[in-house]
Structure 1
Amino acid sequence: MTCHFIIYNVKLGQCIGVLPDDQPDHAMMVDCGHDGDFHPIDDFGRYLNKIGNKPSLRTLALTNYDHDHFSGLPKLYKSAKIESVLLPKNLGMKEIRALKSESTDALDTLEHIRSTYTVPIRGYTRPFTRKAFSLEQMELTNAGIPIETNHLSQMMFVKYGQTTFCIPGDLECRSWELMLAKPDVQDWLRQTNVLMAPHHGRENGYHEDIFNYCNPACVIFSDKPIVHGTQRDMIATYASHADGITYTTRTGDSVQRRTLTTRNDGHILVTVPLSGAPTFKAY
């Protein structure tokens, strides 16, 4: 029994497919960014059970209300049967629209989903454990932090077997201060083996104190080609906190790595067994 985590290369954006290989009816997608003509559901849907002629996605979770985390939502909603959603609850739809410069199909689809998926699915047991944390607007206000989508990211932990992924969305240093003060967040960080770099690995998403609690084997960046110096410099910073893993490249070579990036490594597959350590390879 294994669970596959596919980190899709959607340039500046994020999309992670979570697929228990023996229970595809419990598959989850965390964020649904896309890149041009590439929509991750076109690949991920091949592994899912069908309802009618559509692949069935048990859960769509969003970590952030910025477009790079849900730009593929219109295509996903049309081409797949989404059974449940896990969305940040700290912003209303009017507030989300007020923070955006224009209306888009993705925003319209998001509004439809928020008004439609109002009752959680109950009565089933997931093969993995998930936990979500997010800050409330009052917490930001009291700390003098502006009300922005990054600071209100939904941080998700997904655990299967002995491996825990931390997917913190676009949390920035100032909002990390508040998150790191929460004992439950500290406990989940202590379990974390694989960390998705906050805010795509940008400098303002880094907080050194994360690693007072978190000792990851690997840090994974979901990001576009380098156009800013901090994109390059932060790889070394995060690598200094990671123990390292063996990564199998597209050519089949085994190399030792502390960080992986979608911009250099493309799609990344992490296969997690029910017992033992995960494997990392190009997908």
Structure 2
Amino acid sequence: MIDCGRAKRPGWSPSVHYAGTAIDLLVIQNLDEDHVEDLSELLRTVTVRSVFSNPTVTASALASMKPDGMRTGVSTAHNVLRDFGPGLIGRWPDTGEVQVVHFYCRFGTHFTETNDLSLATFFRWGNFTILFGGDLETAGWQMMLRNQEFQRLLVGTQVFVTSHHGRENGKCAELFQIMRPDIAVISDDAIQYGTQEKSTQWYRDKVKGIPVLGTENAYGIRDKRHVLTTRRDGTISIAVGAWGNYLVTPEKVQNELTLGEILGAFGRNALSKDSQVA
């Protein structure tokens, strides 16, 4: 699980959705309230076997970054860091063929505010790579770009979950001098800042786009989507095939298509690693 915030619409929370189950690894990308709002309840209703956050952010460091006080989620995270220490808590789970790689800046040495201390997390399986950007801002991205291994993983990234919910200060043009993802995904709620709409167009110009299932014209050409947002598209599911091909299914499409149609489209493209359907 990446973070444990809550969706205000339609009132979704992981502590309810996953109650009674177990989570092998909870990755806390950013120690701000919107990323850990449900942490207290999650730890009560779900068995969390391990937790990972920026290893350089201790409980005292987190407290120093919250001079105006901590709300419930951050306070719970602070208590966890105080009781168990920063970084990995528990054992790193066996993720099988899935490779999980984190990059982070150092508290004090590089930054002293939470956004640029976010984790940047790559998940890789076969030829497919997705990057979650946390709440990194431009300076944080630029610091990470000094790392050659970070640059290497950027090259193969197909899906980019943008940082800071698509806000202006999460943009970094230098990233796209190295990576050229197929799509960008913006995890956001209702529009709170005018720059969020402008950012959608900015990211659209930086990605390739993927064809949309069910939009074929007379010549067999499909429309393309470049940027998906949870605000507009709802829950976004990504199914990945063994050859690196993948199927992106927004919630609204799931409601319109039958399972057979979705699986049929995925099956027809399963032998081509360059073929994606959304």
Normalised by the size of structure 1, how large is the TM-score?
A: 0.77
Other-structure match for 2:53: 87
Contact 2:51/2:89 (CA < 8 Å) preserved in 1? no
Q: Note if 1:137 corresponds to 2:103.
A: no
Contact preservation (8 Å) 1:66, 1:149: yes
Does 1:243 pair with 2:208? Answer: yes
Contact 1:64 1:150 in 2 (8 A): yes
Alpha-carbon distance change, 153 to 255 in structure 1, aligned in 2, over 3 angstroms = same
Give 5+ residue unaligned stretches, structure 1: 1-28, 47-53, 141-145
**Structure 2 Cα separation of the partners of residues 34 and 123 of structure 1:** 25
Q: Which residue in the other structure is 1:277 paired with?
A: 245
- Per the alignment, in what secondary structure is the counterpart of residue 30 of structure 1? coil
Asked if 1:197 corresponds to 2:165, the answer is no
Evaluate the alpha carbon distance shift between residue 229 and residue 77 of structure 1 in structure 2; reply closer, same or farther with a 3 A threshold: same
Q: Which moved more, 1:102-111 or 1:254-263?
A: 102-111
Q: CA separation in 1, counterparts of 2:163 and 2:4?
A: 16
- Offset from partner CA, 1:124-144 (integer Å, 9 cap, x none): 45341100010113542xxxx
Counterparts of 1:103 and 1:147, CA distance in 2: 16
Check the 8 A contact 1:247/1:280 in 2, yes or no. Answer: no
Contact kept, 8 Å, 1:157 with 1:165, in 2: the verdict is yes
RMSD (Å) for aligned C-alpha atoms: 2.2
- Between the aligned partners of 1:155 and 1:277, the Cα distance in structure 2 is 23
Q: After the TM superposition, which parts of structure 1 deviate over 6 Å for at least 4 consecutive aligned residues?
A: none
User: Offset at 1:112?
Assistant: 3.7
2:229 equivalent to 1:261: yes
Conserved 8 A contact 1:195-1:219:
yes
Residue 70 of structure 2 is aligned to residue 103 of structure 1: yes
Structure number with larger C-alpha Rg: 2
Q: Contact 1:219 / 1:239 at 8 angstroms: preserved in 2?
A: yes
| Greater Cα shift, 214-223 or 115-124 | 115-124
| 1:63 maps to 2:37 | no
Q: Which runs of 5+ in 2 are unaligned?
A: 215-221, 252-278
Asked whether 1:30 is paired with 2:2, we answer yes
Q: Aligned pair 1:179/2:144, yes or no?
A: yes
**1:223 match:** 188
Q: Which residue of 2 aligns with 1:10?
A: none
Kept in 2: contact 1:172–1:204 (CA 8 A): yes
- CA–CA distance in 2 between the matches of 1:176 and 1:63? 14
Tell me how far 1:106 sits from its aligned partner: 1.6
Aligned length: 238
User: Matched residues, percent identical?
Assistant: 27
Letter in 1 for 2:99: T
C-alpha contact 1:131 1:156 (8 A) present in aligned 2: yes
Higher normalized contact order (CA 8 Å, seq sep 6+, divided by chain length):
1
Cα gap change, 1:63 to 1:247, in 2 (>3 Å): farther
Q: Is the 8 A contact 1:248 1:281 kept in 2?
A: no
Give the secondary structure class of the aligned counterpart of 2:206: coil
Does 2:14 align with 1:40? yes
- Structure 2: how far apart are the matches of 1:111 and 1:86? 13
**Shift of residue 119 of structure 1?**
5.1
